[in-house]
Structure 1
Amino acid sequence: MALDLFCPGLAAQSPASNWCCPIASSVIELRTLLAEVHERFREASLCYGQGTENAWDEATALVLGVTGLPDAPSSLDIGLDEAATARIRQLAQRRVDERQPLAWLLGKTQYCGAWFTVEPGIVVPRSPIGPMLRGGLRPWLARPPRRILDLCCGSGCLGLLAAKQFPAAKVTLVDADPRAANLARRNAVALGLAGRTEVVCADLFDDASLGAFDLILCNPPYVDAADLRTLPPEFAHEPALGLAGGEDGLDVVRRVIDQAGTHLAEGGLLVCEVGTNAWRVNRTWPRLPFIWPDTPAGGAGVFLLDAEALHSHTSVTAS
């Protein structure tokens, strides 16, 4: 997610705290503290990409995340009391010293207009699939889905965004990590979606009760062994279970492609993120008719496969 200077929406769902007060000698203007944090992040040469793309976006996310203020120009002139200022400076220093993801330090992140609780040990929401859902996956999805599956769901962000986008759908969220499954449940409750979602702790399609779906979303681990050894500290903090895809990065992707056909209804669609491994995917399955749409952030790291192609592939691999 790239932020402009207080572009509408970042903190719209997070109410302002009691840390804001009229300008007085004992408080600091938000614009001043924002500039201070930005400069600290810029000088520290931090790595971004876990919800923000640069030092300014990261500083904005921190200041608004702590205060709950709207990302509007009027917020720049608001004064913050000593407690808010101290908290922001403390978290900024931890961000620099520990190189932990900012979302973990805040305990929350905004992704595609919704706030999600996040915590250490769970990958921070950032998949380009999220922005793609806003358009209803047109023209590739033949009809609004009735049943949606979010594989490797982590915090549950993709499946829950899909539940918001398709209000008539039932959504199943699956993750092999019990901590992730528990977090996804909590996020479903917080977003008022618990009644249309179920969370299953299982390894991909291993739960025999899953059945067939009209839409399968998957952000699997796809970092190859070489890249895993050279991750920046911010990304190295994240769990290997959510990142490591084996020697070539495709261990989990292979299982998804081989098994998804048996869980897609007629007219269904698989949407899967593979990042920079797109070339490996094309080389490994040259006969599959992958669609590589341009993602909102640019690039082609997400592929689409329809049910017909996957049904044929499943029949071949099973024979």
Structure 2
Amino acid sequence: MNVRPTSPRSARSARITTGAIAALAALGLLSLTACSSETDGKNSEGKLKVVASFYPLEFLAKEIGGDHVSVSALTKPGVEPHDLELTPKQTASLDEAGAVVYLKGLQPGVDKAIKQSSAKHVVDAASLTELEEHGDEVDGHQHGSEDKHAAEDEHEGHEHKHEGGDPHIWLDPVKYAEVAKGVAKALAEADPDHKADFEKNAEALAHKLDGLHKKFETGLKNRASDTFISTHAAFGYLAERYGLTEEAVNGLDPESEPSAARMKELHEVAEKHHVSTIFFETLADPKTAKTLASDLKLKTDVLDPLEGITDKSKGDDYFEVMESNLAALRKALGTK
């Protein structure tokens, strides 16, 4: 039998084919490794990937997680969070995350996406403290925290409450500290190796929040009025904590429109309680609040619900903006 010698071209082709197969195999191995790193909830640097639904929870995750986490927020700066619609990429990030922190009842789009995701470590901030009812809408009228129960008695059977209670827990430093400890526990479950650091950071944050609470407690004493008017009913917890009454132009939803009866009622509230200032906020349309202030010949100022930090925010983080809020309230309520 005659065996034909292999030509140089054939040998070279064989080497190329073998090299190509080896390269493809290497790429396959790399691909499997990449998939593995994407599904273990950590980034290429070994940091726990945390997805937070909006700024107050992003702030907690960063403060508590420190150098051990990589945090991304679903709500970008300047976007009003209540009506957020997620992109496919954002939805996919939930499945890749090592931990997800959100607040059920605030963002329906986020609630739906999380329910459909396969994220293993999910913490609902609303479950970490007790929710209450504020800013109820009764027969088309918005009522502040002080007269809520009277309104319910008067219109029994006609209440319309925000499902799950008022979600704005971060505006009460005491409740926010409770949430911080719960977030630390959730991060520790997702990344047990750094449990001690998460707990230490949460304790330090709780200490700072206690200091902020004491500043509000002391700073709001000896005031001329207890009542303030805001754009939407975000400050019910803060009002209740410090003995104030919030009267809101809109309800818990900042995009809702007040009725003519509500606007008339606010005129009466402003006169009766010697309100000096109508507060508006950075992310919601201030038109109605400014119109009310113009009609009543009152001043306007910013009371920030801290749903996001932008260039217009009076501070670069949670603590700076809250201290700005305290200064604005002190001025409006005539503290000495």
Q: TM-score range by the shorter chain?
A: 0.3 to 0.5
Structure number with greater CO (CA < 8 Å, separation at least 6) is 2
Whose helix fraction is larger, Structure 1's or Structure 2's?
2
TM-score norm. by structure 1 comes to: 0.32
Whose strand fraction is larger, Structure 1's or Structure 2's?
1
TM-score norm. by structure 2 comes to: 0.31
